[in-house]
């Protein structure tokens, strides 16, 4: 991403980790689809999707605001400010997440633990852990510690979940929804604890000094983070709204088939994530030294890398579609149409490159919030119209259309507000990456 080879090497490392993680997650999904009945797997999908859709809210925007503050403090040698931000964010995320979980758990107990009440309880217990995990990942990638940001979450976590499920099944334990939920939450907790210990140790050496926090600093961090809470939360809700609507309108087995098709395209989705690991920090460093030309160049380069890597990944996934879906079971092969539609949507989304990261770095979170809200509205409206008529394919069409709207909105927004171009269809130049 920069003029040095550091950018492409870091992006390639992040992508390699996510490719390995995609294989592990895919294997985990196949394992669970085989161990659980079709409706049981659909129940797991519903639980996990609600956690992912609401996880960013639990991080309270600090996972995203770290991309703005941490690289700047680190670049300017402000170690005290960096450590103060780290500790303040940790306190806010853990304290607020625990309080909200307690309230949600009481609500679930009031509803009753039969049916939806159990899902509500498990989501309530899992969200604080997931929010902490998001925050720790955000701080790690903001400091350029990409392996620490990715390996525990995308390599270790699926290994823990899969191994535990195999051992439980071999021991004769029925993998009911409460059992699967406990395995998920326990695995996330272990991963978050490991990341917390490793980050705390790294930061002691990288940002030594006082950690006194002023009222003005705390207000600034909250003022920036809370709008990002809505921005990232709405973005995640929009990403998973299709699955959530499906879970309300169709049988669990249909939800399972749809989710399997989405999982089969996971590699293409991870391409954008790998670039985001590098891009947000690179954009922040460009702004820290007031190099507008470098910012524009890096934005276009990130778009080209994201777009063409996504096209290749989608093409490979579609070619292997029957094999990938068949691994879940014969009934899941019906998801090939969903794969094709969602693949087109991922390519349309990739055309905006890392525009979302640029908005955060530029302090345009309020404008980004409007974009995310609009994407969510489009997804929900089209899903409720199309799913009753077309089923899973209707949800895929709604999601792909929303991705196209997101790309168009981000491109227009960045051009009008900052005269920064986003769209670029040329081949990436690795010498400038």
Summarize pLDDT for 49-98 with one digit per residue, the tens. Answer: 889 888 888 888 999 899 888 888 887 778 888 888 999 999 999 998 88
424 contact partners, CB below 8 Å, separation of at least 6: 300, 301, 303, 304, 307, 353
Does pLDDT of 267 surpass 80? no
Span 315-332, average pLDDT: 89
pLDDT confidence of residue 341: 96
* CA distance linking residue 34 with residue 331, whole number of Å: 12
Neighbours of 397 (CB within 10 A): 22
Better-predicted residue by pLDDT, 250 or 192: 192
* CA distance linking residue 201 with residue 190, whole number of Å: 17
* CA distance linking residue 136 with residue 153, whole number of Å: 10
- Per the domain annotation, does 401 fall within a domain? yes
Span 365-374, average pLDDT: 84
- Per the domain annotation, does 60 fall within a domain? yes
Q: Mean pLDDT for the chain?
A: 84
- Per the domain annotation, does 348 fall within a domain? yes
pLDDT digits (tens, 9 = 90+) for 272-313: 666 666 676 778 777 766 677 888 888 888 888 888 888 998
pLDDT confidence of residue 150: 84
- Per the domain annotation, does 200 fall within a domain? yes
Q: What angle do CA 197, 267, 400 make, to 5 degrees?
A: 115
Which one, of 329, 333, 279, lies nearest residue 306 by Cα? Answer: 279
Does pLDDT of 198 surpass 80? yes
Alpha-carbon torsion, ordered 208, 209, 213, 219, to 10 deg? -40
- Per the domain annotation, does 245 fall within a domain? yes
- Per the domain annotation, does 59 fall within a domain? yes
- Per the domain annotation, does 428 fall within a domain? no
Better-predicted residue by pLDDT, 279 or 430: 279
Q: Which domain holds residue 401?
A: 6-418
- Per the domain annotation, does 433 fall within a domain? no
Q: Three-state SS for 175? A: coil
Alpha-carbon torsion, ordered 138, 139, 143, 147, to 10 deg? -60
Q: Grade residue 3 by pLDDT with cuts at 50, 70 and 90.
A: very low
Q: Grade residue 4 by pLDDT with cuts at 50, 70 and 90.
A: very low
Q: Grade residue 1 by pLDDT with cuts at 50, 70 and 90.
A: very low
Tell if the pTM clears 0.85, that is, is over it. Answer: no
Task: Give the number of domains in the chain.
Answer: 1
Long-range pairs for 292-300: beta carbons < 8 A, 24 or more residues apart: 294/2, 294/3, 295/358, 295/420, 296/420, 296/421, 297/432, 298/1, 298/2, 299/353, 299/354, 299/355, 299/358, 299/420, 299/421, 299/422, 300/353, 300/421, 300/422, 300/424
% of the chain residues with pLDDT over 90: 31
Q: Grade residue 2 by pLDDT with cuts at 50, 70 and 90.
A: very low
Using N-to-C axis directions, what is the helix angle for 392-418 and 336-350, rounded to 10°?
Answer: 0
């Amino acid at each position: 991403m920069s003029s040095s080879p550091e950018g492409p090497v870091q992006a390639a490392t992040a992508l390699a980790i996510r490719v390995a993680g995609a294989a592990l997650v895919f294997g985990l999904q196949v394992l669970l689809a085989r161990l659980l009945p079709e409706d049981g797997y659909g129940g797991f999908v519903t639980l996990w999707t609600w956690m992912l859709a609401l996880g960013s809210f639990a991080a309270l925007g600090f996972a995203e605001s770290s991309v703005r503050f941490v690289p700047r403090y680190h670049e300017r040698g402000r170690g005290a400010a960096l450590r103060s931000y780290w500790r303040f964010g940790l306190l806010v995320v853990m304290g607020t997440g625990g309080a909200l979980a307690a309230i949600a758990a009481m609500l679930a107990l009031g509803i009753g633990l039969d049916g939806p009440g159990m899902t509500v309880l498990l989501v309530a217990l899992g969200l604080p852990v997931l929010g902490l995990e998001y925050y720790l990942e955000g701080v790690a990638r903001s400091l350029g510690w990409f392996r620490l940001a990715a390996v525990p979450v995308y390599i270790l976590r699926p290994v823990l979940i899969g191994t535990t499920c195999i051992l439980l099944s071999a021991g004769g334990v029925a993998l009911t929804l409460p059992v699967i939920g406990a395995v998920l939450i326990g695995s996330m907790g272990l991963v978050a604890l490991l990341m917390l210990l490793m980050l705390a140790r790294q930061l002691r050496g990288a940002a030594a000094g006082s950690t006194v926090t002023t009222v003005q600093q705390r207000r600034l961090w909250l003022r920036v983070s809370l709008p990002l809470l809505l921005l990232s939360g709405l973005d995640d809700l929009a990403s998973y709204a299709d699955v959530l609507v499906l879970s309300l309108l169709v049988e669990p087995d249909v939800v399972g088939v749809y989710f399997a098709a989405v999982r089969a395209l996971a590699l293409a989705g991870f391409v954008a994530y790998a670039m985001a690991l590098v891009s947000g920090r690179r954009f922040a460093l460009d702004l820290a030294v007031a190099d507008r030309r470098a910012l524009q160049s890096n934005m276009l380069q990130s778009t080209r890398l994201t777009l063409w890597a996504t096209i290749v990944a989608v093409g490979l996934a579609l070619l292997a579609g029957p094999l990938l879906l068949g691994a879940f079971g014969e009934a899941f092969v019906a998801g090939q149409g969903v794969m094709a539609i969602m693949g087109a949507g991922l390519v349309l989304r990739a055309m905006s490159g890392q525009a979302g990261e640029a908005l955060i770095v530029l302090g345009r979170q309020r404008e980004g919030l409007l974009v995310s809200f609009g994407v969510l509205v489009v997804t929900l409206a089209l899903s409720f119209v199309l799913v009753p008529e077309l089923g899973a394919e209707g949800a895929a069409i709604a999601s792909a259309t929303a991705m196209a709207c997101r790309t168009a909105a981000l491109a227009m927004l960045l051009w009008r507000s900052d005269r920064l171009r986003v769209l670029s269809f040329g081949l990436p130049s690795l010498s400038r990456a």
